[in-house]
Amino acid sequence: MQGLLFDSDSGGRMVIRVVIVILGFWTAWRAGRAVASNWENYPLAVIYCFLIGLGLQFLHHALFNGPVFDLTIYIIDVVLLLLFAIAGYRYRRTDQMVNNYYWLYEKTSAFSWRKKN
Distance (Å) of CA 75 to CA 37, 105, 107: 27, 36, 33
The H-assigned helical ranges of 1-117 are 11-37, 42-64, 71-100
- pLDDT tens digits for 32-81? 999 999 999 989 999 999 999 999 999 888 888 878 888 888 898 899 99
113 in a structural domain = no
112 in a structural domain = no
36 in a structural domain = yes
Q: Which residues of 9-23 are buried (b: 16+ CB within 10 A; e: fewer)?
A: eeeeeeeebeebbee
Q: Give mean pLDDT, residues 7-29.
A: 81
Quote the CA–CA distance of 40 and 21 in Å, as a whole number. Answer: 26
5 in a structural domain = no
- What does pLDDT average to over the chain? 87
104 in a structural domain = no
pTM: 0.81
Nearest to 56 by CA among 16, 20, 8, 9: 20
62 in a structural domain = yes
7 in a structural domain = no
108 in a structural domain = no
Find the domain containing 41 and state its range: 12-92
Domains identified in the chain, total number: 1
Q: Give mean pLDDT, residues 85-111.
A: 93
